[in-house]
C-alpha cells in the first residue's frame, strides 16, 4: 500500500475482496477499509476517534481493533463496490495489554474469545520470560 503517510498492518478480509489497515494520514492513527486488490478504487474511514491493529471476524460481519487500552468492535453492515456501511463502534473490554510492531492479539473463529498478552502489573513482579502453548489439549485429558 502506498500513500503520503504511513499505512500499516493490512488485513485481507475472509472473502479476499477488502483490506483493512491503519494509517496516520489525518495526524492520528485511524483504520480504513479499501477494496482489494484495487486499493485505489476507494477508501472509507472506520474509526471515529483513533484505532489500530484491525482484524476481520471470520464471518466478515465485524472488524475488531485496538484504541489505546480498549478492545473495540464495529459491525460491518454492508460491503459493496459502491461503498461500505458500518454500525457504531463499541468497547468490548478494557485492559492493559502488550502492543508492538505486530498485531498482538488474535480472535477465535466465532469472534467470542480473544488471545492477548497482559502487560506487567507492577514493577515488583518480574516479567515472564516464557510462554507455554498447549496444542491439542483435549488429547491431554484422555
Long-range contacts of 59-66 (CB under 8 A, 24+ apart): 59/14, 59/111, 60/13, 60/14, 60/15, 60/18, 62/111, 63/20, 63/31, 63/33, 64/92, 64/107, 64/111, 65/22, 65/31, 66/97, 66/99, 66/105
Query: Tens digits of per-residue pLDDT, 30-69?
Result: 999 999 988 888 889 999 889 999 999 999 999 999 998 9
Query: What's the distance, CA 4 to chain centroid?
Result: 22
Residue-range domain boundaries for the chain: 7-141
- Pairwise pLDDT comparison (134 vs 116), residue with the higher score: 116
CB 37 within 8 A of CB 50: no
**pLDDT over 70 at 2, yes or no:** no
Helix (H) or strand (E) holding 31: strand 30-35
63: helix, strand or coil: strand
pLDDT for the residue numbered 6:
72
Does the predicted TM-score (pTM) go above 0.85? no
**pLDDT over 80 at 126, yes or no:** no
Percent pLDDT > 90 in the chain is: 41
pLDDT for the residue numbered 5:
56
Helix (H) or strand (E) holding 23: strand 18-23
User: Which residue in this structure is represented by grid cell 469472534?
Assistant: 111
Which of 2-6, 44-48, 115-119, 130-134 has the least mean pLDDT? 2-6
Amino acid at each position: 500500500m502506498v500513500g503520503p503517510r504511513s499505512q500499516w498492518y493490512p488485513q485481507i478480509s475472509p472473502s479476499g475482496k477488502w483490506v483493512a489497515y491503519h494509517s496516520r494520514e489525518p495526524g492520528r492513527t485511524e483504520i480504513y477499509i479499501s477494496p482489494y486488490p484495487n486499493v485505489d478504487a476507494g477508501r472509507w474511514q472506520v474509526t471515529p476517534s483513533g484505532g489500530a491493529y484491525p482484524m476481520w471476524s471470520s464471518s466478515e460481519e465485524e472488524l475488531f481493533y485496538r484504541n489505546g487500552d480498549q478492545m473495540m468492535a464495529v459491525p460491518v453492515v454492508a460491503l459493496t463496490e459502491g461503498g461500505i456501511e458500518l454500525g457504531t463502534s463499541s468497547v468490548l473490554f478494557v485492559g492493559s495489554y502488550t502492543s508492538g510492531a505486530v498485531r498482538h492479539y488474535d480472535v477465535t473463529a466465532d469472534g467470542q474469545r480473544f488471545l492477548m498478552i497482559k502487560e506487567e502489573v507492577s514493577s515488583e513482579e518480574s516479567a515472564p520470560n516464557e510462554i507455554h502453548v498447549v496444542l491439542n489439549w483435549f488429547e491431554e485429558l484422555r
